[in-house]
Amino acid sequence: DFLFFWGAVFLITTTLVALLKKENKELTPTKEETKGITDTYRLLFSIVKMPAVLTFCLLILTAKVGFSAADAVTGLKLVEEGVPKEHLALLAVPMVPLQIILPLIISKYTAGPQPLNTFYKAMPFRLLLGLEFAFLVWWTPKVKHEGGFPVYYYVVVLLSYALHQITLYSMYVAIMAFNAKVSDPLIGGTYMTLLNTVSNLGGNWPSTVALWLVDPLTVKECAGAQEQTCGTTAAAEV
Q: Report the distance separating Cα 162 and Cα 170, nearest Å.
A: 12
Query: pLDDT (tens digit, 9 = 90+) per residue, 59-100?
Result: 999 999 999 999 999 999 999 888 999 988 888 888 989 989
pLDDT over threshold 70, residue 188 = no
Share of the chain above pLDDT 90, in %: 50
Higher per-residue confidence, 234 vs 62: 62
The pLDDT, as a whole number, for residue 161 is 93
Three-state secondary structure readout of 39-77 = HHHHHHHHHHCCHHHHHHHHHHHHCCHHHHHHHHHHHHH
Architecture of domain 38-215: Up-down Bundle (1.20)
**3-state DSSP helix/strand/coil percent for the chain, to nearest 5?**
75, 0, 25
**Cα distances (Å, whole numbers) of residue 34 to 109, 197, 217:** 33, 19, 48
pTM of the model: 0.77
Q: Report the distance separating Cα 136 and Cα 48, nearest Å.
A: 41
